[in-house]
Structure 1
Amino acid sequence: MAGTWRQAWLIVGREFKIDRYYVAGSIVFVLYMAFFGGMAIAKLHEEPRLSLVADLIFWIVVSMVGYYFSRRITKYITEDSYTQMLAYYRVMPISPQVIAMARCLQLILATLINGTLLFGTLYLFHSGIREQMNIESFIAFSLLWTGFGLLLNSIYITFELMLRGKAYFWYSLILTVILTAAVLILHFSGVPIVEGTIRICASKGLASPLVWILFGAGAASVYAAYVFIVRGIPLRDLA
């Protein structure tokens, strides 16, 4: 197990070094979206009509917290870059356990870094958010949405390693359409998502069961993705 961890961290370090400029671009993008997206959330208690805008923007922003830009992700359709990566690792050879662990570690690290920047910027730069939630409530809000991000990104990393580039694109697009439709249906049914989670976190804080259920589901989904990837990689046709 120690050898698996060591090899996984070597892959993670190598990937971050290669994509360091893309990572810097990701950080700038997260800060940009946190600042301008936070404007809608900060005004929710004054302008309820912004609820749909906040719902549509925020789930997309949170879903991207687990990623950082990379050359591989920009070429996954034209070059089927993830399949090429798996073929390279198979020749090395690097075990499925190492590949899966490295990808899950990348997801966790990206979520930690981007999530800290996202939620830190939201709270520090938008007084309207501080008026709606104290620090405990905002931590609960952050954990809740981090859980959602982990859950969603666990699906995405499974897609990227189990599917060819074009299939990955179409499955991701279908998932995006489904989630967008769900947001619209909930909103027009009188269930504002972001505003609703703010109310829950503001009233119950870290004592809210929903916070820990969703965060726990996100953590469990990362492990489930690891198991699925380990079992699926040896069965993939990489030719």
Structure 2
Amino acid sequence: MTTLKQAWVIVRSEFHGDRWKLLWALLFSLLFMGYFAALSGMIIDDTLSGHDKQLLSDILMVTMMLMLSVSFSRRTMKYISEDSYTRMLAYMRAMPVPTAVILCKRKLNTLFAIVMNSLLYFGLIYVLSPGIRAELPPAAYLAFALTWIGYSLIVAGMYIIIEFSVSGVMYFWIISAIMLLALAVSGMVYLVGGNLLLATVAVSKEWGLLSPLMWGALVLGVLSLQLFSRWTIHRLKSRDLV
């Protein structure tokens, strides 16, 4: 059996064994993404209409891209108090499950989270934001959404190696530092007169699905996921889970 098939069997068995886990993830994602989609829609409309909320729009979009690859499960919510990622690794290693299968399973979970969260978040923004519907036709908006999803993929690769390399508490502090760094970049762009949201809208509107920004972000996202995965495999082989 190939690595991908083995990983898919484990993922499928987890959901079949605990259907409440899938329902919880769907409901929490719907509530979380629904709230922030409504908030984002209002702020995007204000930004597109020329009101002075450009910094806020960038901060919100950057923050959400850091969240798209997060699966809202019990393991995610308990990663500090129970060090759930380390416990999961120890359980998999005791079965035993090959390192490549563990990593493939994690990437499948990441892709599932990004697809589900992105559909909810960007779908609801388009429904709730008349300004962005007027600015971007469906093909251009798809390019806009895929550009930001590419950014989320770049970060997802970093998340994987961090959560598989350190304890839950250390994971929290590193992720917090990444978020602060991303917000600082948004602030610097604003201070020099730029705006990430408006730039993405402009490029998506002009190029549509041929957007070089979109394809660049997606390619970098896939490369990030693969590169960090290779590093993670080496880290997993030597990490002490006791």
Classify the TM-score, shorter chain. over 0.9
3-state SS of the aligned residue for 1:158? helix
- Shift of the alpha carbon at 1:138? 0.7
Deviations 1:160-211 (A, max 9, x none): 1111111111111111111111111111111111111111111222222121
- Aligned match of 1:11: 10
- Which amino acid is 1:82 matched to? Y
CA contact (8 A) 2:68 2:118 kept: yes
TM-score relative to the length of structure 2: 0.93
Q: Does 1:67 align with 2:66?
A: no
Q: In the alignment, does 2:170 pair up with 1:171?
A: no
Which consecutive residues of structure 2, in runs of 5 or more, have no partner in the other structure?
Answer: none
Work out which of the residue numbers 20, 24, 29 in structure 1 matches 2:22: 20
Residue 15 of structure 1, CA deviation: 4.0
Cα separation, partners in 2 of 1:22 and 1:157, compared to 1, 3 Å = farther
Distance 1:115 1:103 in 2: 18
In the other structure, the counterpart of 1:130 is 133
CA distance in 2 between counterparts of 1:47 and 1:176 reads 27
Structure 2 residue 50 is the aligned partner of structure 1 residue 42: no
Counterpart in the other structure of 1:81? 84
Map 1:91-106; keep pairs closer than 5 Å.
91-106=94-109
The 3-state SS of whatever aligns with 2:164 is: helix
- The 3 A distance-change label for structure 1 pair 65 and 15 is farther
Whether contact under 8 Å (2:66, 2:179) holds in the other structure is: no
Q: Within the alignment, does 1:149 sit opposite 2:148 as a pair?
A: no
In the TM superposition, residue 47 of structure 1 has moved relative to its aligned partner by 3.3
- Please identify, of 58-67 and 11-20, the stretch whose mean Cα deviation from structure 2 is larger: 11-20
Q: Distance between the aligned counterparts of 1:170 and 1:30, measured in 2?
A: 24
Residue 208 (structure 1) aligns with: 211
| Cα distance change of structure 1 residues 201 and 185 upon mapping to structure 2, 3 Å threshold | same
Alignment length, in residue pairs? Answer: 238
Structure-1 separation of matches of 2:46 and 2:198: 10
Q: What fraction of aligned residue pairs are identical, expressed as a percent?
A: 32
Separation in structure 2 between the aligned mates of residue 48 and residue 14 of structure 1, nearest angstrom: 50
Residues 25 and 16 from structure 1, CA distance in 2 versus in 1: closer, same or farther, beyond 3 angstroms? farther
In structure 1, the partner of 2:184 is 181
CA RMSD of the aligned region, Å?
A: 1.5
Q: Look up the match of 1:231.
A: 234
The C-alpha deviation readout for 1:135-171, integer Å capped at 9, x for no partner, is 1211110111010011112211221111111111111
Please tell me whether the aligned partners of residues 96 and 229 of structure 1 are also in contact (alpha carbons under 8 angstroms). Answer: no
Alpha-carbon distance change, 84 to 106 in structure 1, aligned in 2, over 3 angstroms: same
Q: TM-score, normalised by structure 1?
A: 0.94
Cα shift readout 1:96-121 (whole Å, capped 9, x = no counterpart):
10110000011111111211121111
Q: Deviations over 1:36-71 (max 9, x none)?
A: 212111222213311111111111112211112111
Residue aligned with 1:238, SS: coil
CA distance in 1, matches of 2:154, 2:60: 18
What is the alpha-carbon distance in structure 2 between the residues aligned to residue 208 and residue 142 of structure 1? Answer: 11
Gaps of at least 5 residues in structure 1 are none
**2:110 pairs with 107, 110, 114, which one?**
107
